[in-house]
A and B are shown apart, each in its own frame.
Chain A
């Protein structure tokens, strides 16, 4: 009995120590494997660095771009048009009056406000086309707000009634609406402080930018936002693997085929895909009820050049990536930065100046205003934005050709 127990004990112990050795071996193997994994990761230093450095970098950039602090906020460019000096005829007693001594104090208040940047002042009594010019400035984008002082402004305030200031906003980009309202309110506050009088203001969207009856404004504004970075993003993502992924290029180079021919045919193929994609996008957007102030052709060309810049960037990344993973990582990093600095989510004017520079170099900061201009303001496609997108794509294509020419291929 005793012996049996002893034996089983010993057996148990043996079993136990066996398992310990097995476990030890297993741990050892795992440690070795982990080491190997690190070796492999280290062999791909660039990728791992990118993966580690990119997210904090994005947070830093968000920190820079998302500053809501009003003292860092760029002031809103505006034009003040005053009708106050015009003759006001009271409807009740037909008495004429030409009082205008509160127009200048309000103008001073606008001038004092840090949130508003007074670009020009028109006295509409002297300049008949004042409003016309102000509207043109709004359409061109050089100002964001027209502040109009009505004819009875001074009279109303004299009689103890609230004088009403007309405030016409560029409502084509919702990012600016809140900011503009804050700014206008700031000027009113300063006026109240200075004069102890209480005017009010009335807000209008600029009617030429607003959407007619029967169209959905929320659909329009989301389409305006989405179109540019959708077209860009898809062309971009489609093309990032176009060179790295194609292993038999090495073999193709042992035929009379030239490198430049290979690359050119890739551009052509992807441009055709882009053409199809843009056509589909335009058709679906319009048939879903997009209100398009500009022409279809302009929209088409604009979308195409935006996609084309995405394609050029994608091929560029592909031409200089050594592995698929590297291309994918570069894509993600580049796309995040481009979206962040596109001006779609954060006004570029609010960014620190070095980031503004980057933002203006990147394609989407031009794509978004271009699409917005065509859809909501009826602008034409050919202009500064188009030109820049064209130039940047061209530069990328040239660099890609140079890199691809030097890329090493061995069968």
Chain B
């Protein structure tokens, strides 16, 4: 559905995307994760024909068409849908949802009656209350606007849908609703989806997660596989330690089996080890021997959030070492 080979993006001297490769199949949900400035939006902008060819190189195909060719843009834009982060940029607030549907379907040259029928079925899937359909969009709630926005992105039955931060600015409970709706749409329509997000919880519905850092694609795989690539398949021990401080942490780190140690709260740490089951009792003994007071302890598999933190931290440490060795 979407193929990206050796994608490089440069804005003048600013090399923003470095050698990115990935393949996306029909019906997959892809999460694009990365801290601010990683290049998520830039990649999507290449895929959606928003960046001039002079700024990028590589072999990119979206629904088997290359955005490099200007003559392909119309077709690509017909095959894809886009749900921007801000509803203000997406919806005509002074028009009704149905009118908005009309405005946008007309751009694809689609039949109006057909479009409204599709829209109504989408509205139903997304639980948009029927009494809002013909009232002005500006009177809708934030969550309703978001869902309307998603419906409009799908109005022309695109094979790929891009969503920019669909869950930001939505309160926690609604966030899961939105993710559920997206999954539902994905399953009923078999639409391929790209989700740009800071919300690591979104990985729940993603078939593949792409992790970007400073323009480089660090990982591209299913969240489960990524997590189980961690030491001991991602088993994590969590400790609450009394009077935790940096010195204590350095002390604990000295225990040789520890691969990664994360401070996750004021007095909380999480630890990843090789041969987890075998080393856990030894670690506990080590802490007791050194007068480190453990208030509580638990064992769990790492969440995607944890994985992401660990992976980024690892990359930062690698870079630091590289720089230090260069400095010598």
Contacts and interface: CB of A to CB of B under 8 A. Distances in A.
A71 interface: no
Nearest to A246: B92
Interface stretch (B77-85, B126-134, B173-181, B221-229): B77-85
Contact of A252 (B50, B74, B88, B107): B107
13 contacts: A247-B89, A251-B90, A251-B104, A252-B103, A252-B107, A254-B48, A254-B50, A254-B77, A254-B82, A255-B77, A256-B75, A411-B85, A411-B86
B270 interface: no
Contact of B89 (A251, A255, A256, A257): A251
Task: Give the interface size class of chain A.
Answer: 10 to 19
A292 to B, nearest CB: 40
A395 B281 CA distance: 82
B84 A250 contact: yes
B78 A256 contact: yes
Given A255-B77, A255-B108, A247 B48 contact: no
B84 A256 contact: no
A248 B108 contact: no
Given A411-B82, A411-B84, A411-B164, A256 B90 contact: no
Q: What secondary structure prevails in chain A residues at the interface with B?
A: loop
A246 to B, nearest CB: 8
Contacts of B108: 255-256
Closest 8 CB pairs of A and B: A411-B84, A255-B107, A257-B107, A256-B74, A254-B82, A251-B90, A250-B89, A256-B77
A252 B90 CA distance: 8
Given A248-B89, A411-B90, A255 B104 contact: yes
Contacts of A255: 77-78, 104, 107-108
B92 A248 contact: yes
Interface in B43-77: 48, 50, 73-75, 77
Interface of B: 48, 50, 73-75, 77-78, 80, 82, 84-86, 88-92, 103-104, 107-109, 164
Contacts of A410: 50
Contacts of B85: 411
Interface of A: 247-248, 250-252, 254-257, 410-411
B77 A248 contact: no
A411 B45 CA distance: 10
A247 B88 contact: yes
Contacts of B104: 251-252, 255
A405 to B, nearest CB: 13
A266 to B, nearest CB: 14
Contacts of A252: 103-104, 107
B84 A251 contact: yes
A251 B75 CA distance: 16
A248 B107 contact: no
Given A255-B78, A411-B90, 12 more contacts: A247-B89, A251-B82, A251-B90, A252-B107, A254-B48, A254-B77, A254-B82, A255-B77, A256-B73, A256-B74, A256-B108, A411-B86
Contacts of B109: 256
A410 B40 CA distance: 14
Contacts of B91: 248
A37 to B, nearest CB: 24
B89 A411 contact: yes
A250 B74 CA distance: 16
A260 B84 CA distance: 22
A342 B108 CA distance: 45
Nearest to B92: A248
A25 B103 CA distance: 52
B30 to A, nearest CB: 18
Nearest to A261: B107
A243 to B, nearest CB: 14
Contacts of A257: 107
A255 B154 CA distance: 12
A197 B164 CA distance: 93
A410 B41 CA distance: 11
**Interface-central residue, A252, A254, A257, A410, by most chain B CB under 10 Å:** A254
Contacts of A256: 73-75, 77-78, 107-109
A408 B119 CA distance: 30
